[in-house]
Structure 1
Amino acid sequence: MSKSISMSTETVHSPMLHTGERLLVQVEQLLGSWAGAIASVILIMESVILGVGVFSRYVLHRPIFWTDEFALILFAWLSMLGAAVALRRGAHMRLGFIVEKLRPATQARVSTFAWTLLLGLMVALLYAAVNFTVHSWTELTPALQWHLSVRTASMVVGFALMAVTAATKLTRIATLRSFFVSFALLIAIGAALYYLQGSLQDIGNYNLIFFFVVLVLGCIGMGVEIAFAFALAAMAYLSLMTNAPTSIIMNRLDAAISDITLLSIPMFILVGVLLDVTGLAKAIINLMVALLGHTRGGLHYVLLGGMYLVSGISGSKSADMAAIAPIILPEMKRRGEKEGELVALLSVSGAMAETIPPSIILIAVGVASGVSISSLFVGGFVPAIVGLLALAAVVFVRTRGRTAPDCRKATGAEIRKAMFIALPAIPLPFLIRAAVVEGVATATEVATIGVLYSVICGIFVYRQFPLKRVCDSLIATVSLTGAILLVTGLAGSVAWSLTQSGFSDDLSTMMQGLPGGATVFLLVSIAFFAILGSVLEGFPAIVLFSPLMFPIATSYSIHGVHYAIVVVLSLSIGLFAPPFGVGFYSACAIGGVEPQKAMKDIFLYMAVFVCAVVLIAFVPWFSIGFLH
């Protein structure tokens, strides 16, 4: 999710470059279009290759060993090209509302400085990527025996494309004078840090506060994408405070974009968008409307139930809400429901659904913490039901005094017709979750089957497979994949730096010294991750702090699955709670409602949800009661 910075300054500032600007823009648009097209083709190839692998392994019982390796090479290219597309589309995770509050002239200067900083960072990352790729040439992949540089070259191309995008953006928003002022300011800041290098080293690990709190939050406040704020902090810390090479940043990024488990992320995102495009999600919602739409608060319950069924598959809460809201909200508004309450419920239901498998954030937690992903999927069901029931109770209390909606009850024939139409769609969410939970196939394989099933249903059952929307969905999928994987990989370098600095040992000592033992630790964790969720969003917070916090939870004898569920739900509190939670603003944008109208209502729903999270934290059975 992201809130883009207003670029109204483009119309009030003369271009920084007159000669050649049009050529640069045309080149950037051409490269960006080709990057999106190639990444979309790669996504289709991934689906085919993984599908062939699944067929050969489970039907022919003759696994093809090179398919996973080839798929991972393509995954690296998909991730980096997707990251470049995401930068063009403004789809990277960021917090832009601070800059949006500034006066236009100040906003222009801050934006120019931010993009100048970003361009310099892209050049530095490109240099590091080239060196990493050159040194990878001598290594060979196990099955295909290809040079490893075939995979790592994706980082070179990705950062080169992003550098071109940053340069093009600067020509649009900056004057020549403002660019040179920003460039000079960057040089001055770099010189000051180099001059203060010794002083920063003398204060020991307290310098971590400067690099990973002040510097990161400063960049985020200017609207710099969270992933690049992490990269800048890690590069500055490694260069000034350690003897470690900056190639560690590329090493951590390469580890993320070549992880077979994370390969499931683009597949599940694609399943999610296909549910919407092919009409499968609409069929499920229409059935629920036929069953409950005539009751008091019926559409509220449909909204909650729809989020429970559809959520977790697409990989994006915005995508989940966008799949449900256009179907339900117009009818709710027609019935006279308050706009603010609708958006508040939509937002908090998104928070409630974060642990519903196959949740992308649960996959990230499993990879970062080492907890079994299948166990996380099993553990996520009941906590989400607890949140669902808590929100449904609020709906019941708030609607019991209202008159019944002015609509007739669906007839038996209408219900049977809706059920018949939804019949092909209903099994998909359950089959995906059951297959992963029971260990029938890996998450990546199950997601691939889900893609194939959605395509078949869309073409042959629902006769709804609009090619333009499908192509747009492919671009959206590669963009979201790139944003997720880039922030995961670059946050990994920060996590490595924090671990190597000894900060993890200090944090462990401090947490283990808390009065009240596990009880206080859980409460502190809820507050800590809620704050992180409002500032960093889910993925970077998970990558950064899972390796640090999970060992502490283990020392308190807290089950890894239980703690993971508490962490994810706590992050969702921060992600969807105003005034900083970007999930809340996404819900407002999707519902077409001003945030001020939803503020009053969301605090009630959010307060109940927080109580549900605390209950889940102190009743471990909700999370681990059904583990084998």
Structure 2
Amino acid sequence: MITLLIILLLVFLIISVPIYLSIGLASFISVLVFSDIIPMVLIQRMFSGLDAFSLMALPFFVLAANVMDGGGLSRRILDFSRALVGHLAGGIALTTQVASMFFGALSGSSPATVIAIGKIMYPELIKGGYNKSFSGGLLASSGAVSLVIPPSITLIIFAAVTGVSVSSLFIAGITAGIVLGISSIVYIYIYAKKHSIPKNKRASGKELTSSFGKAFWSLLVPVIILGGIYTGIFSPTEAAVVSAVYAFIIGFFVYKELSLKNTFKIAVDSAITSAQILVLVASAKLFGWVLTREQIPQQVSSFMIENVTSVILFLLILNIILLIMGMFMEGIAAITVTAPLIFPAATAMGIDPVHLGIIMVTNLAIGMYTPPFGMNIFIAQTITKLEMKEMLPGISKFLVFNIAGLLLITYIPEISLFLLRFM
């Protein structure tokens, strides 16, 4: 059954069948051929896979991200980031990276971050003296941090698949996301110094205060979300609802950039995006059930424990596997397929479940802009109009520095766990 499952999955992916269909059809056909289980049981497994309280947060965070973008919250975050770091070496590029980190704390979506920040900053980057390859690489890579910094949709999926606390993952994602972002900032600074990129004028105290005032309501979003979760006022699922309602109130009544007409369109688009993610989760849950029924996770766990006795080596192998998977699969799909296999082996070796989740999501965040099929590359291409070969030199440099950040996150668990333990 497993042999047929893997062959069918690979064939479907090679011939470009959508991932949710590839996973679902491969699972269905394998079970029907090699067992007497009736199809209705498989349908029930798919629906029960969606019956997870943590998954209720997903559509509301998607809605909140879209409302924030349409309501002008992202643009004000960008203006504040420019006033904050725009005068430093590599100021425009630093603004792009810092704004992406802020927006990641609003949206939890990597592609949404690339679109929201990139369409505004790319013309400024070119005008500021940065070459097209660097600028394209920056746009594609800067959105990656959104997968790690809470509220991250991918962390929610990991929690739903493994049963790890969403709140704990969110806390750990704060420091890990900052480390990943800083690794890009280091390269930006080196690049600016090497190419003698001219500095911008420092924002005056009045301009900084003004930009902060305009962005204040936007900056309150992560404070409300994370503060409410960590103080126990509401759960991550309730926080998603609060963020969506808050974003609507600010966009409609304070910034006055939302109307009922575009709010309806945002709601429809958010529903479609949520459905696309959830149908993938349902197929992956069926896939995971088939693997569990055949005791594949237990066999993988036993094999890894017997043959890979070093945690350091285990984590290195895990990073390599996930970085390769990230080249071909979107983060949510990769998590739903690999987490059920990796989780038992990792926990059996004494790896903290929260740390494991951060490692996996950080790998897949980097995969979002890793050739040949990193989604952020294609989104950045629509903004920059560059071909893949033109973007590769810029992307490769960010990859090197982000992988260095990944290794720090992997082998220094306290980066992810110290805040969680403190709280």
Common fold, TM-score beyond 0.5? yes
Which string of whole-angstrom CA distances, capped at 9 and with x for unpartnered residues, describes residues 236-276 of structure 1? 11111112222233222212433221111110011111111
CA contact (8 A) 1:318 1:587 kept: no
Alignment counterpart, residue 403 of structure 2, candidates 610, 616, 628: 610
How far off is 1:315 after superposition?
Answer: 4.6
- 1:209 corresponds in structure 2 to 3
How far off is 1:498 after superposition?
Answer: 0.9
CA contact (8 A) 1:249 1:493 kept: yes
Alignment counterpart, residue 93 of structure 2, candidates 281, 296, 300: 300
Amino acid corresponding to residue 220 of structure 2 in structure 1:
P
* Larger fraction in helix: 2
Amino acid corresponding to residue 227 of structure 1 in structure 2:
Y
Q: State the number of aligned residues.
A: 421
Alignment counterpart, residue 436 of structure 1, candidates 210, 229, 232: 229
Q: Secondary structure at the match of 1:513?
A: helix
Which string of whole-angstrom CA distances, capped at 9 and with x for unpartnered residues, describes residues 201-220 of structure 1? xxxxxx523322x2112212
Residues 220 and 413 (structure 1 numbering): CA distance in 2 closer, same or farther, change over 3 Å? same
CA contact (8 A) 2:118 2:383 kept: yes
Matched, 1:590 2:383: yes
Name whichever of 489-498 and 409-418 sits farther off.
409-418
Q: What does 1:495-534 align with in structure 2 at a 5 Å threshold? A: 495-534=288-327
Matched, 1:454 2:239: no
Q: More relative contact order in 1 or in 2 (CA 8 Å, sep 6+)? A: 2
Amino acid corresponding to residue 540 of structure 1 in structure 2:
A
Name whichever of 438-447 and 495-504 sits farther off.
438-447
- 2:343 corresponds in structure 1 to 550
Q: Secondary structure at the match of 1:329?
A: helix
> For 2:27 and 2:155, how far apart are their aligned partners in 1?
25
CA contact (8 A) 2:87 2:202 kept: yes
Residues 499 and 256 (structure 1 numbering): CA distance in 2 closer, same or farther, change over 3 Å? closer
How far off is 1:471 after superposition?
Answer: 2.8
- 1:375 corresponds in structure 2 to 168
Residues 431 and 617 (structure 1 numbering): CA distance in 2 closer, same or farther, change over 3 Å? same
> For 2:201 and 2:403, how far apart are their aligned partners in 1?
36
Residues 404 and 602 (structure 1 numbering): CA distance in 2 closer, same or farther, change over 3 Å? closer
- 1:328 corresponds in structure 2 to 121
Residues 531 and 252 (structure 1 numbering): CA distance in 2 closer, same or farther, change over 3 Å? farther
Alignment counterpart, residue 416 of structure 1, candidates 209, 228, 232: 209
Residues 493 and 312 (structure 1 numbering): CA distance in 2 closer, same or farther, change over 3 Å? farther
Residues 538 and 209 (structure 1 numbering): CA distance in 2 closer, same or farther, change over 3 Å? farther
Residues 531 and 248 (structure 1 numbering): CA distance in 2 closer, same or farther, change over 3 Å? farther
Which string of whole-angstrom CA distances, capped at 9 and with x for unpartnered residues, describes residues 405-441 of structure 1? 3754333332222222112221112221222233321
> For 2:106 and 2:284, how far apart are their aligned partners in 1?
23
TM-score computed with the length of structure 1 as normaliser: 0.64
Which string of whole-angstrom CA distances, capped at 9 and with x for unpartnered residues, describes residues 278-309 of structure 1? 11111111112123223321121111111111
CA contact (8 A) 2:5 2:30 kept: yes
Q: What does 1:273-288 align with in structure 2 at a 5 Å threshold? A: 273-288=66-81
- 1:568 corresponds in structure 2 to 361
> For 2:401 and 2:193, how far apart are their aligned partners in 1?
18
How far off is 1:526 after superposition?
Answer: 0.8
How far off is 1:404 after superposition?
Answer: 5.2
> For 2:250 and 2:127, how far apart are their aligned partners in 1?
31
Amino acid corresponding to residue 455 of structure 1 in structure 2:
F
Name whichever of 426-435 and 483-492 sits farther off.
426-435
Name whichever of 577-586 and 318-327 sits farther off.
577-586
> For 1:468 and 1:596, how far apart are their aligned partners in 2?
40
Q: Secondary structure at the match of 2:226?
A: helix
> For 1:345 and 1:606, how far apart are their aligned partners in 2?
10
Q: What does 1:252-271 align with in structure 2 at a 5 Å threshold? A: 252-271=45-64
> For 1:313 and 1:239, how far apart are their aligned partners in 2?
44
> For 1:286 and 1:249, how far apart are their aligned partners in 2?
50
How large is the RMSD of aligned CA atoms in angstroms?
1.8
Amino acid corresponding to residue 360 of structure 2 in structure 1:
V
TM-score computed with the length of structure 2 as normaliser: 0.94
Unaligned residue ranges in structure 1 (runs of 5+): 1-206
Unaligned residue ranges in structure 2 (runs of 5+): none
How far off is 1:313 after superposition?
Answer: 4.3
CA contact (8 A) 2:90 2:199 kept: no
CA contact (8 A) 2:105 2:222 kept: no
How far off is 1:403 after superposition?
Answer: 4.0
Amino acid corresponding to residue 387 of structure 1 in structure 2:
L
Matched, 1:309 2:102: yes
Matched, 1:366 2:152: no
CA contact (8 A) 2:109 2:147 kept: no
> For 2:256 and 2:356, how far apart are their aligned partners in 1?
44
Q: Secondary structure at the match of 2:420?
A: coil
Runs of 4 or more off by more than 6 Å in structure 1? none
How far off is 1:609 after superposition?
Answer: 0.9
Amino acid corresponding to residue 283 of structure 1 in structure 2:
R
Which string of whole-angstrom CA distances, capped at 9 and with x for unpartnered residues, describes residues 465-504 of structure 1? 1444323322221111001100000111111111111222
**Once the two structures are aligned, what percentage of the paired residues are identical?**
28
> For 2:14 and 2:353, how far apart are their aligned partners in 1?
33
- 2:16 corresponds in structure 1 to 223
> For 2:341 and 2:192, how far apart are their aligned partners in 1?
44
CA contact (8 A) 1:269 1:313 kept: no
> For 1:449 and 1:468, how far apart are their aligned partners in 2?
22
Q: Secondary structure at the match of 1:426?
A: helix
- 2:130 corresponds in structure 1 to 337
> For 1:242 and 1:255, how far apart are their aligned partners in 2?
20
How far off is 1:512 after superposition?
Answer: 0.9
Which string of whole-angstrom CA distances, capped at 9 and with x for unpartnered residues, describes residues 569-600 of structure 1? 11223332112323322222233332221101
> For 1:547 and 1:336, how far apart are their aligned partners in 2?
47
Which string of whole-angstrom CA distances, capped at 9 and with x for unpartnered residues, describes residues 537-583 of structure 1? 22222222222211111111110011111111112233321123233
How far off is 1:516 after superposition?
Answer: 4.4
Residues 387 and 406 (structure 1 numbering): CA distance in 2 closer, same or farther, change over 3 Å? closer
CA contact (8 A) 1:352 1:384 kept: yes
Q: Secondary structure at the match of 1:224?
A: coil
Which string of whole-angstrom CA distances, capped at 9 and with x for unpartnered residues, describes residues 18-66 of structure 1? xxxxxxxxxxxxxxxxxxxxxxxxxxxxxxxxxxxxxxxxxxxxxxxxx
- 1:173 corresponds in structure 2 to none
